Amino acid sequence: MNHYQAAIIGFGKAGKTLAAALGRAGWRVAIVEKSKTMYGGTCINIGCIPTKALVHDAQAATDFTEAAQRKASVVEFLREKNYLNLANLESVDVIDGQAEFLDPHTLKITSGEAIRTLSADRIFINTGAEARFPQIEGLIAGPRIVDSTGILNLSSLPKRLGILGGGYIGVEFASMFARFGSKVTLFETASQFLAREDSDISAAVATILQDQGVKIELNAVVDAVTSSSEGVTLHTSQGDRQMDLLLAATGRRPATGTLKLENAGVLTDARGAIQVDKRLKTSTDHIWAMGDVTGGPQFTYVSLDDYRIVYDQLLGEGTRTTDDRLNIPYSVFMTPTLSRIGLTEAQAREQGKNIQVVSLPVAVIPRARVINDTRGMLKAVVDNDTQQILGVSLLAADSHEVINIVKTVMDAGLPYTVLRDQIFTHPTMSESLNDLFALVK
């Protein structure tokens, strides 16, 4: 048995960053990762990096096989870099294997037939989330049915791709594979597409996808799935649909099933998410949870902020909490990108806000003409009483960059006029914020 000052389960963004920081501070640290293919966490290996690499190559009309090879090389480079960043630290041990709690301070690590135990003063859980398949007859992962991880391992392009689930993951893959040349059908059980967005935004997204060749089937209840070496058949409420490959993009759940948290007194909710307080402490005082495993927003940048909160308790002033997160933006990397922050128009009206709503077609932005992508729209919700920005939706090229400017203004509590009157370079997508907020009366 080896004893450490800190044991971290999972090599994700929060975990690896904390391990490096504590190691440099002189702590003896163990970081446990169940798979050598997951050094660096979800983002680098099966999330942000590989998907965005493929999105980039799809936009550049790169052959899919070539794009898949380049994606793999990018992932391999970053995975090795992340491993060496920790393995090269003298006080940090990278341990391969599946971790489970024996008691609140002790972990059993299983790697094949090898078993070891370690104990730690403090333990940090950063095991992320895993794909969730709904209970549908025949919906079992295999050669013709994949989750978001499996589809990233394809070496050849499916001619007919079915995507079960019309949420953000489904939209991103639909746009990407349609641009590569697949015939894509998106199956959504709800009657409204992208219900979390305002109807005008979701309609604009649907139009763009359909123009790319994506077929969207709403109210598509899948009763059963049949797969064979020839393909996969979806038996839906609207009839049978034949596909070469089916992507189940039906959400993710916290990866806690193998940890035996009950042995450590760590409580979870009904979804298996670890319950934490505002400082990310679990129900056991010396155990913290960070990242997707807590059931919060599943973003790498939120996981990074989780690290900041925990580090502040260990080696800082101890004042930082999750309450410090004012506005969390997100981007869906379809082409063009959909980005949003704050309230939608519908949410603001439900809250009884005195608002003004303005929108701008991307077609009037000079930079959009320069890059020859005039699709989409910009939309802002402004509080008439405070002059502050309540929310912004950007469906436009480079919106994933522009949304961060809006976040900075919102977090600072500044009025919309700051963006209306700001001096931006030209021609850029950022300067469209001048024109958007000039519409506010």
* Catalytic residue numbers, as ranges: 426
Calculate helix-pair angle for 168-180, 48-59, nearest 10 degrees.
Answer: 40
Burial 239-272 (b: 16+ CB within 10 A, else e): eebebbbbbbbbebbbbbeebebeebebebeeeb
Interacting residues of 131 by C-beta distance below 8 A, sequence separation 6+ = 147, 148, 149, 248, 250, 251, 252
321 phi, psi to nearest 5 deg = -140, 175
Q: Where are the beta strands (DSSP E) in 327-376?
A: 330-332, 338-342, 355-361
**Other CB atoms within 10 Å distance of the CB of residue 161:** 24
Q: In what order do the strands lie in the sheet with 377-383?
A: 330-332, 338-342, 389-395, 377-383, 355-361
Cβ 343 vs Cβ 351: under 8 Å: yes
Q: What share of the chain is helix, strand, coil (3-state, %, to 5)?
A: 35, 25, 40
| CA dist., res. 86 & res. 289, Å (int) | 20
Which residue, among 10, 16, 253, 43, has the nearest Cα to 126 in the 3D structure? 10
For 321, the token pair is 């909490």
Q: Where are the beta strands (DSSP E) in 160-238?
A: 160-164, 183-187, 215-217, 222-227, 232-236
Interacting residues of 153 by C-beta distance below 8 A, sequence separation 6+ = none
Burial 400-427 (b: 16+ CB within 10 A, else e): bebbebbbebbeeeebbebbeeeeeeee
